[in-house]
Structure 1
Amino acid sequence: MSRSSSREDEVRRMLDGPHPQVPADLAQRAAARGGRLLRRRRFARRLVLLVAFAAVIAFTVWALKAQPWQLPPTETTPPLDGW
């Protein structure tokens, strides 16, 4: 017997055996758990968007205050008097 056919036989024996009883409130518990997962994901998504929005606002305020696109002042070199 090959290895795959023995596995198939074992699976068939497991499926042909008695099936366990399913709890009566399984659907309600699954729906409640799914609702909790959806609420957590929604909260996490909103939190990430809020943090990203705050980062954009902070960067904008910094850029407007620091103005990194302008050249630094030219007072870093000594004046060239007397040439």
Structure 2
Amino acid sequence: MTRSDREEAEVRQLLDTPHPVVPADLAPRALARGTRLRHRRRTVRRLLWLTLLAAVIVLAVWASVTEPWSPPPMRTTPPLEGG
């Protein structure tokens, strides 16, 4: 008996046995769980977007206040020339 024949026989045996009883409230429970998961994922997604937006705003405010692109002030005065 080949492997595919053996697997087919196992599947046929499983299908020939009586099917398990499905709870009557399975669909409403699944719907409620799916709704909860969808709301939780939406809330997490919104929190992540708000965190990202807050980080961008903080970075923009910090950059506008400290101006990291400008050269630092000189600590010594330049030498006098031509005097």
The residue that corresponds to 2:14 in the other structure is: 14
CA distance in 1, matches of 2:80, 2:35: 77
TM norm structure 1: 0.89
Structure 2 stretches lacking a partner, 5+ long: none
**After the TM superposition, which of the residue ranges 20-29 and 63-72 deviates more from structure 2?**
63-72
The residue that corresponds to 1:53 in the other structure is: 53
Structure 1 stretches lacking a partner, 5+ long: none
Moved over 6 A (4+): none
Once the 2 structures are TM-superposed, how far is the Cα of residue 79 of structure 1 from its aligned partner?
A: 2.5
Quote the RMSD (CA, aligned, Å): 1.5
The residue that corresponds to 2:38 in the other structure is: 38
The residue that corresponds to 2:62 in the other structure is: 62
Once the 2 structures are TM-superposed, how far is the Cα of residue 69 of structure 1 from its aligned partner?
A: 1.8
Describe the superposition over 1:4-58 as per-residue Cα deviations: whole angstroms up to 9, x where unpaired.
2101110111011100111000000000000010011000000001100110110
CA distance in 1, matches of 2:80, 2:6: 97
CA distance in 1, matches of 2:69, 2:7: 69
Once the 2 structures are TM-superposed, how far is the Cα of residue 78 of structure 1 from its aligned partner?
A: 5.2
Percent same amino acid at aligned positions?
Answer: 55
Give the counterpart letter for 1:3 in structure 2: R
What is the total number of aligned residue pairs between the two structures? 82
Once the 2 structures are TM-superposed, how far is the Cα of residue 71 of structure 1 from its aligned partner?
A: 1.9
CA distance in 1, matches of 2:76, 2:13: 89
